[in-house]
Each structure stands twice: as structure tokens, then as C-alpha cells.
């Protein structure tokens, strides 16, 4: 069951931002989405990916990542490693809120998807002077598991390919990009709709 983010205050949370620069981070973080693509398509070897996966799944140190947004909002990504399995929770937070919004979680309750493509694309640029994950390519790849959109445009494929290449993947990565855009296997892709007034 997804817990409120304040539950993490008594958990072994550690700053995970340095992991983003590790060569095996992206195949480890995107393992559920990559559909069996080997780590080499991300530009690293299996040993690097396994080493990062061990750190992401360490029950004694739960990595946390922050994606700063404008207006004081932040998306917080929490890895949560229990005795049996590891889950990843994505929260939208604001200092003025008494309770955070769970965007997605791959635990047994399967909360997601949390974003459609236009929303994710709008979050790629960090506000000036922000701290946390500020590189637009890293922000895109970090938040891809929250995405679930049945109508992603070609622009999305191009942006993901650019992000993969910028993070070390070989240039021939369009097949991987299309796989990553199919949505998390727990919730897949959804048709999004909005009221005309929104």
C-alpha cells in the first residue's frame, strides 16, 4: 500500500542524486520499462547496471531524488526497499501543502500513470537556480515511469532518443525509446482527455 511521504521520515532515506551520474543508473532505473533490452543499449555493461540496481534496492539506504519545478513545487522520487521487494514512489510536493500528492507507485496498489506526454514535456526545464535533478535529459528519463499515454507524438520519441544519447546510449536508440514510451507494465498507456475549460 502506498504510504504518505512523511512515512519516509523514519526510514533510511539517503540522497540519491550522485547515482544519476553512475554509468549503470539508467538501465537500472528503467529496468521495468525497457522490455528486456540489455544494458548495452544504454551505453553500459551488465556489471555497471547490476551494481547500481544493488544500491537502488539496498534495504539500509533508500535513495531519494528531487525534480524541482516552478512555483515551489517538487516531484520527489523515493525508492523503498523492504525485505521482499523494492518499490518506487513518485510524489508531487509543495511547502504549503499538508499532504503530498502521489503521482505514481509501482507497489501492489499500482498507482499510475501520473502524467500524459504534454505534462511531462512541460516539466523538463528546471527553474533558474534550482537544486536536484536539473538536466532536462535526466529529468525526462527519471520521470518516464510515471508516464502512461496512448497518444505520444513523434516528438516524444525524438526527445527520449536525445535524452538517451545525452546520457551515454548509442545513437541508434529509437527502438529503445519507443519501448520506454509504452508505459510502465503495471499500468501501460492510457487515453487522456480534458474538459474544454481546463
Q: What is the pLDDT of residue 1?
A: 41
Q: What is the pLDDT of residue 107?
A: 85
Interatomic CA distance for residues 69 and 40, integer angstroms? 32
* pLDDT of res. 197: 65
Query: Distance (Å, rounded) from C-alpha 154 to C-alpha 178?
Result: 10
174, part of any domain: yes
Taking 50 as the threshold, does the pLDDT of residue 92 lie above it? yes
The overall pTM is greater than 0.85: yes
Residue 19, in any domain of the structure: yes
Q: Which cell numbers in the block locate residue 78?
A: 523515493
Question: Residue 70 sits in which domain range?
Answer: 5-180
Q: Is 3's pLDDT higher than 60?
A: no
Is residue 185 in some structural domain?
Answer: no
pLDDT computed for residue 118 by the predictor: 96
Q: Are 27 and 39 in contact (CB under 8 A)?
A: yes
Parallel, antiparallel, or unpaired: how do β-strands 86-93 and 74-81 relate? antiparallel
- 97 part of a folded domain: yes
Residue 15 has pLDDT above 50, yes or no: yes
Asked whether residue 195 is domain-assigned, the answer is no
Residue 11 in domain: yes
- Give the number of domains in the chain: 1
Taking 3-state DSSP, the helix, strand and coil percentages for the chain, each rounded to the nearest 5, stand at: 35, 20, 45
Q: Above 70 in pLDDT, residue 5?
A: no
Most confident of 14-23, 108-117, 188-197: 14-23
Q: What is the pLDDT of residue 2?
A: 47
Looking at the domain assignment, is residue 43 inside a domain?
Answer: yes
- The per-residue DSSP string of 17-57 comes to GGGGGSTTHHHHHTTTTSTT--GGGGTS-HHHHHHHHHHHT
- Residue 110 banded pLDDT, cuts 50, 70, 90: confident
Q: Is residue 32 part of a domain?
A: yes
Amino acid at each position: 500500500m502506498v504510504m504518505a511521504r512523511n512515512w519516509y521520515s523514519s526510514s533510511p532515506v539517503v540522497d540519491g542524486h550522485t547515482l544519476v551520474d553512475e554509468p549503470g543508473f539508467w538501465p537500472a532505473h528503467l529496468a521495468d520499462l525497457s522490455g528486456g533490452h540489455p544494458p548495452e543499449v544504454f551505453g553500459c555493461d551488465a556489471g555497471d547496471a547490476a551494481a547500481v540496481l544493488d544500491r537502488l534496492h539496498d534495504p539500509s539506504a533508500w535513495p531519494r531524488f528531487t525534480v524541482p519545478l516552478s512555483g515551489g513545487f517538487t516531484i520527489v522520487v523515493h525508492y523503498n526497499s523492504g525485505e521482499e521487494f523494492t518499490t518506487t514512489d513518485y510524489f508531487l510536493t509543495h511547502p504549503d501543502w499538508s499532504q503530498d500528492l502521489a503521482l505514481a507507485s509501482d507497489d501492489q496498489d499500482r498507482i499510475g500513470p501520473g502524467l500524459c506526454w504534454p505534462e511531462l514535456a512541460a516539466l523538463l526545464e528546471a527553474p533558474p537556480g534550482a537544486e536536484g535533478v536539473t538536466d532536462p535529459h535526466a529529468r525526462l528519463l527519471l520521470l518516464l515511469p510515471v508516464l502512461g499515454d496512448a497518444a505520444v507524438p513523434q516528438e516524444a520519441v525524438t526527445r527520449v532518443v536525445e535524452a538517451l544519447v545525452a546520457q551515454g546510449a548509442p545513437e541508434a536508440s529509437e527502438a529503445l525509446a519507443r519501448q520506454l514510451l509504452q508505459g510502465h507494465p503495471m499500468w501501460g498507456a492510457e487515453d487522456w482527455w480534458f474538459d474544454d475549460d481546463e
